[in-house]
């Protein structure tokens, strides 16, 4: 019957998805307490994959609330304006699943809610890291589960825009180099 065929098809798809997730499934380990920052010193926003899995081929996004401030994708890094040369991941540590974000020269204005998002294939995991002046929790443990769809969409839009800016920047560099190789001056974008 048609219903049996559809049910078998659905079971087949579900079985394949479960099978592929077993090989690639990971979770994020984040601190249970706020990270405490000291002015003008570096701070590490801790986030690790469990089990220990290489994150080098994964997409890593770090958000300050809903704004994507750091994007690691296809081995390339893009930082949001205002964070240039302040943020980094340790690529050697990424081999061991460490996707912690180093923030240089902590400032009082850096306090807030940070979200680590790791994407591999169809799997997307998120973890919330608080950065403040004390170790006390100041967010609900299930904050990300209670978050509105609008905030999730704003976060996705912010990451998309940062990725587009990265691509446009690389395209601009390519055309500038091509014009120089052809003996023509770079275009004035003003």
Instruction: Say which CATH architecture domain 22-181 belongs to.
Output: Sandwich (2.60)
Specify the pLDDT at position 14. Answer: 27
Query: What is the model's pTM?
Result: 0.70
Cβ atoms of residues 24 and 123 within 8 Å:
yes
Specify the pLDDT at position 77. Answer: 94
Can you give the pLDDT of all 190 residues of the chain as single tens digits? Answer: 333 333 332 222 222 222 333 446 999 999 888 888 889 999 999 999 999 999 999 999 999 989 999 999 999 999 999 999 999 999 899 999 999 999 999 998 999 899 999 999 999 999 999 898 666 655 555 666 667 788 888 888 888 888 887 666 555 555 555 556 667 666 655 5
Specify the pLDDT at position 125. Answer: 95
Structure tokens at 69: 């401030």
Specify the pLDDT at position 176. Answer: 56
pLDDT (tens digit per residue) in 150-179 = 888 888 888 888 888 766 655 555 555 555
pLDDT (tens digit per residue) in 80-98 = 999 999 999 998 999 999 9
Beta strands in the chain (DSSP E): 27-29, 35-36, 43-45, 48-50, 59-64, 67-73, 76-79, 87-88, 101-103, 112-120, 123-132
Domain boundaries, the chain: 22-181
Specify the pLDDT at position 5. Answer: 33
Q: Beta partners for 64?
A: 67, 114
C-alpha distances out from residue 95 to 71, 98, 144, 162, 179, Å: 17, 7, 27, 24, 38
Specify the pLDDT at position 168. Answer: 66
Classify residue 112 as left (phi > 0), alpha (psi -120 to 50) or beta.
left
Specify the pLDDT at position 60. Answer: 98
């Amino acid at each position: 019957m048609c219903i049996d065929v559809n049910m078998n098809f659905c079971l087949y798809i579900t079985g394949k998805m479960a099978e592929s997730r077993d090989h690639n499934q990971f979770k994020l380990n984040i601190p249970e307490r706020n990270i405490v920052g000291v002015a003008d010193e570096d701070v590490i926003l801790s986030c690790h994959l469990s089990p220990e899995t290489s994150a080098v081929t994964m997409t890593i996004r770090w958000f300050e609330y809903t704004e994507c401030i750091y994007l690691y994708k296809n081995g390339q890094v893009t930082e949001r304006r205002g964070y240039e040369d302040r943020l980094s991941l340790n690529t050697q540590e990424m081999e061991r699943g460490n996707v912690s974000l180093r923030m240089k020269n902590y400032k009082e204005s850096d306090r807030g809610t940070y979200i680590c998002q790791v994407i591999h294939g169809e799997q997307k995991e998120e973890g919330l890291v608080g950065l403040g002046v004390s170790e006390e929790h100041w967010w609900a443990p299930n904050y990300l589960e209670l978050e509105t769809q609008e905030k999730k969409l704003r976060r996705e839009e912010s990451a998309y825009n940062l990725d587009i800016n990265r691509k446009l920047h690389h395209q601009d560099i390519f055309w500038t180099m091509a014009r120089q190789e052809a003996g023509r001056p770079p275009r004035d974008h003003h």
